[in-house]
Chain A
């Protein structure tokens, strides 16, 4: 099946079986290895990508669903300014999740920043619950995410992590 779509800002056409999972298309056909394959059930959050700007699990998505859509993977998102700010917040707080769950967590924060949900701890916990890896403290992620969202939405006039020098 011929599937035209936009991958990380570049128009792409690929001829593959339409029922192949998107996670496998990204990893095998495009070599985008930062998207990790784990559960194949949409439960762990490790295979998260941005489809038309919204977080989805690429393992529960068949390739034909990509037709005429825009996909942003970790490799593409790394080039954005938003990623740099999230990454800086992670670094400033010495928060280093493992390579498996890192992008699921970053995309979950991205999704929350761009939603209209109120930034209460409860709704943020709900938004981050899609990542089941406990390589790092979930409570630390929650507090960092709260800080990032406040800064991104402009509700925090003095972004704290910008004033902490990187060691």
Chain B
């Protein structure tokens, strides 16, 4: 077993080189901190000597988690691939553009070169940018523990608060992003907002349009990094409709959407509800009429 574990006087750092070793270590040390990019952990501690768990398992040397491969219908991204690499690697040409827009919107180039895809998904106290984007793209997650592998659609890992929940001893190993399912994408964040603020807003959508008929539409909002809103009924209602939508159809959909969001987030201030509503209206009235992206 090629693991370098060294006591650094404060924490014991394990640096496994194979996934099986990392999973075995995690089983033996269930309280260990899984360290991938570490940007979230360290940016929350402004003391000069950051405090870590007693044991740290660094995934940086696990090559299996750093692969990025293109297959016929999907691109597979290892969970330890950094966000900067997603933009740099040649396989990223085949990724849906909305994912690249989202990655570019995250932090600064220096942060993107450290932060990893898996880390962005696994942060438990907030929902970061990639989760809603991967959700609307119908992506799959591979989650492994020492003795089992789960490979399911990302939505199946979400709890009632739309947070990814992993069992003890499990780590996210791969993200499979389907390609060619949609041909119109959109992504917007409120300008100048960073996710650490209390007033954060992001919307993304993916649409498959055949001529002018909406064949599939997925959209999601990220509110304040705390709530992910995806209303399946609204998505289903729009399927089969022809763009541009008629004014009466738009009014009908807006009304339905408003009743749904009112019920979902009763505690949100009015201006935030209006913001969601306005972005949805913008999507229906303008964005849907754009020409489809040809792959």
Q: Does B108 contact A (CB under 8 A)?
A: yes
Q: Does B1 contact A (CB under 8 A)?
A: no
What is the CA–CA distance of A56 and B83 in the complex, to the nearest angstrom? 12
What is the CA–CA distance of A142 and B58 in the complex, to the nearest angstrom? 37
In contact, B8 and A115 (Cβ under 8 angstroms)? no
What is the CA–CA distance of A55 and B110 in the complex, to the nearest angstrom? 5
In contact, A19 and B6 (Cβ under 8 angstroms)? no
What is the CA–CA distance of A51 and B112 in the complex, to the nearest angstrom? 13
Would A1 and B43 be within 8 Å (CB), given that A54-B113, A57-B110 are in contact? Answer: no
Q: Does B60 contact A (CB under 8 A)?
A: yes
Q: Please, which residue of chain A has its CB at the minimum distance from the CB of B93?
A: A116
In contact, A62 and B113 (Cβ under 8 angstroms)? no
- What residues of chain B lie closer than 8 Å to A41, measured between beta carbons? 43, 46
Q: Does B10 contact A (CB under 8 A)?
A: yes
Of A78-86, A124-132, A146-154, A159-167, the one with at least 4 CB within 8 A of chain B: A124-132
- What residues of chain B lie closer than 8 Å to A2, measured between beta carbons? 6
Q: Does A71 contact B (CB under 8 A)?
A: no
Of A5-13, A42-50, A90-98, A133-141, the one with at least 4 CB within 8 A of chain B: A42-50
Q: Please, which residue of chain B has its CB at the minimum distance from the CB of A20?
A: B49
Q: Does B42 contact A (CB under 8 A)?
A: yes
Q: Does A87 contact B (CB under 8 A)?
A: no
Q: Does A61 contact B (CB under 8 A)?
A: yes
In contact, A51 and B111 (Cβ under 8 angstroms)? no
- What residues of chain A lie closer than 8 Å to B11, measured between beta carbons? 18-19
- What residues of chain B lie closer than 8 Å to A130, measured between beta carbons? 107-111
- Quick one: which of A17, A59, A61, A127 contacts B109, CB cutoff 8 A? A127
Would A56 and B38 be within 8 Å (CB), given that A65-B60, A130-B108 are in contact? Answer: no
- What residues of chain B lie closer than 8 Å to A67, measured between beta carbons? 4, 15, 61
- Quick one: which of A1, A39, A40 contacts B8, CB cutoff 8 A? A1
Q: Please, which residue of chain A has its CB at the minimum distance from the CB of B42?
A: A60
- Per-residue CB contact flags for chain A residues 22-43 toward chain B (1 = under 8 Å, else 0) read 0010000000000000011111
Q: Nearest chain B CB to A24's CB is how many angstroms away? A: 6
Interface size on B, residues (CB 8 A): 36
- What residues of chain B lie closer than 8 Å to A115, measured between beta carbons? 87-88
Q: Does A108 contact B (CB under 8 A)?
A: yes
Q: Does A100 contact B (CB under 8 A)?
A: no
Q: Does B28 contact A (CB under 8 A)?
A: no
Q: Please, which residue of chain B has its CB at the minimum distance from the CB of A16?
A: B8
Would A42 and B111 be within 8 Å (CB), given that A1-B13, A54-B84, A62-B38 are in contact? Answer: yes
Q: Does B48 contact A (CB under 8 A)?
A: yes
- What residues of chain B lie closer than 8 Å to A18, measured between beta carbons? 6, 8, 10-11, 13, 56
Q: Nearest chain A CB to B269's CB is how many angstroms away? A: 27
What is the CA–CA distance of A56 and B50 in the complex, to the nearest angstrom? 18
- Per-residue CB contact flags for chain B residues 80-107 toward chain A (1 = under 8 Å, else 0) read 0000100110000000000000001001
What is the CA–CA distance of A69 and B52 in the complex, to the nearest angstrom? 22
Would A108 and B114 be within 8 Å (CB), given that A17-B8, A21-B50, A42-B42 are in contact? Answer: no
Chain B stretch 117-158: residues in CB contact (< 8 A) with chain A: none
- What residues of chain B lie closer than 8 Å to A42, measured between beta carbons? 39, 42-43, 107-108, 110-111, 114
- Per-residue CB contact flags for chain B residues 18-48 toward chain A (1 = under 8 Å, else 0) read 0000000000000000010011001101111
In contact, A60 and B9 (Cβ under 8 angstroms)? no
Q: Which 7 A-B pairs have the closest CB atoms?
A: A130-B108, A18-B8, A1-B8, A60-B42, A1-B6, A54-B113, A41-B43
> A residues within 8 Å of B by Cβ?
1-2, 16-21, 24, 39-43, 45, 48, 51, 54-57, 59-62, 64-65, 67, 107-108, 111-112, 115-117, 126-127, 129-130
Q: Apart from A54-B84, A108-B109, A126-B104, what are 19 other A-B pairs with CB-CB below 8 Å?
A: A19-B49, A19-B52, A21-B42, A21-B49, A24-B48, A42-B107, A42-B108, A55-B110, A56-B114, A57-B110, A64-B8, A64-B56, A65-B58, A67-B61, A111-B113, A115-B87, A116-B88, A130-B107, A130-B108
Q: Can you report 7 residue pairs joining A to B where beta carbons are below 8 Å apart?
A: A1-B6, A21-B42, A40-B46, A41-B46, A42-B39, A56-B110, A64-B15
